[in-house]
A and B are shown apart, each in its own frame.
Chain A
Amino acid sequence: MVRVLALGLAALILVPAGAFAHGPTRQKVTEAVEINAPPEKVWEVIGNFQDMSWHPAVAKQEGKGGNAVDATRLLTLKSGGTIAEKLIKYDKDKKLYKYEITDVDVKVLPVKNYSSMLSVKGDGGKSTVEWRGAFYRGYMLNDPPPELNDEAARKAVTGVYRGGLDALKEKLETGG
């Protein structure tokens, strides 16, 4: 018993501090939707970093810095959790912006080191909106619990993107 306990302690001590920083493999998710609306019209809805009201999971938003690089926003979700984000890149001509998550509880979104890009392409009356993310799973050591593994991270991010993109399409195609 004593020996077992001692071994357990040794194992704990041997867990390297650096492993908490980043170690597993970075994951990627890309989701897209085609919308029967001109890209300019789509960008009007989603092109403001300070306005995520088009996403059905977002209850409330506050932020500062507008659409300038390093602008911040804090999203409060309808489920109650919050996500703090920072703008990395904003290009209104190319109709894209890129941002990172600066703070989120893994219970809200099971990811670490998350960055993402939202973009609109198209011409005439048709647009394609693409949302892509790069991130690590929520648990940075080996042998993650199922709710914090690579698959759980990809599934959660895919759900966020799908929910947003499908709602956007409906809003733009039915709401004029």
Chain B
Amino acid sequence: MVAGGGAFAGGHPAVSEAFVTNQTDDTLSIVELATLTVAKTLEIGGKPAGLAMSADGTLAFVTAPEGKELVVIDAATRQIAKRIKVGEGPLGVAAHPTNGRVYVADWYAHRVFVVDPVAGAIVAQITVGNSPSGVAVTPDGRLVLTADRDSNAVSFIDAAANQRIGGVTVGERPFGITIDAAGARAYTANVGSDDVSVIDIASRKVVATVPVGRRPYAVALAAGRAFVTNQFGDSVSVIDLANSKVLKTIDVGDHPEGIEADPAGAFVYVACWFDNVLQRIDAAKLTITGEATVGDGPRAFGLFLR
């Protein structure tokens, strides 16, 4: 998918691991996808929530809202490389495909912090709407989009200028935001109105609104379909993007939250907050084909595969 390995030169590298933030027990589980087992558990602290991967997959970025930190992890050695103080309540996070910067949405400060993770420095701050949660970068690196939960809107940020250049009203309380591989459309999961807004990025207009289950949290894209976690529904709604209709609702664990598809679109991985599992959905058969037990309270909010 997009802000993860999507823009890696020469095409998509296959993913082999999931980095799962366990908010309740303050840890990160590194899950090997081939065996669906936890290879390493890292102590993060600060109630970790958001996750992003650098474009080359060598660094993982974890937000700790209560610790007010962006935690940088060396993915190969599985060690914490750096802790960077960011804002008042860092939540969503996304990595730029080329410029090395990381965008952190701050729930309390109502802005996006632009972070240089190598220098450990905040290089810019951009005011957006109220309580931005999810953040995503277009594959060409030109735009950063935030789901501004308490403004019922998405902000568009010019990544070169570090300036908000516009916005679009979406459903109520958008939380997760995902951009497709072509950079054409963005999808928000709207917790308040139980639907998904489909945004045409070029025109900055909502082109479809798709009702899903109760309290949708985040969206993954695979094989022409959107997979939406419904926290209260204990399910994943599968939307056919050709006609913007739900074609199946898959029962998953209790309180599904973070969700991401592998770059090939074969499998979708979903973190279930109450049941403490990462479940694997076969994107063609639309059934659960495996699960890994992770730490307590997995959220995995963002792009967590590498």
Contacts and interface: CB of A to CB of B under 8 A. Distances in A.
A17 B255 CA distance: 26
A7 interface: no
Interface in A7-41: 16-19, 21, 23-28
Contacts of A28: 24, 273-274, 297
Interface in B227-262: 232-234, 254-255
Nearest to A28: B274
Contact of A23 (B107, B234, B297): B107
A89 to B, nearest CB: 7
A115 interface: yes
Nearest to B23: A25
A85 interface: no
B233 A21 contact: no
Contacts, number: 56
Nearest to B91: A23
Nearest to A15: B108
Nearest to B131: A18
B255 A134 contact: yes
Given A17-B150, A18-B110, A25-B66, A115 B232 contact: yes
A88 interface: yes
A133 to B, nearest CB: 9
B234 A16 contact: no
A98 interface: yes
A16 B273 contact: no
B23 A26 contact: yes
Contact of A26 (B130, B131, B234, B273): B273
Given A23-B107, A25-B23, A26-B23, A18 B150 contact: yes
Contacts of A88: 214, 232-233
Interface of B: 23-24, 47, 65-66, 89, 107-110, 130-131, 149-150, 173, 214, 232-234, 254-255, 273-274, 297
6 closest cross-chain pairs (CB), A and B: A18-B131, A18-B150, A18-B130, A25-B47, A88-B232, A21-B150
15 contacts: A16-B108, A16-B109, A18-B108, A18-B149, A23-B107, A23-B108, A24-B66, A26-B273, A26-B297, A28-B273, A28-B274, A88-B214, A98-B232, A100-B232, A132-B274
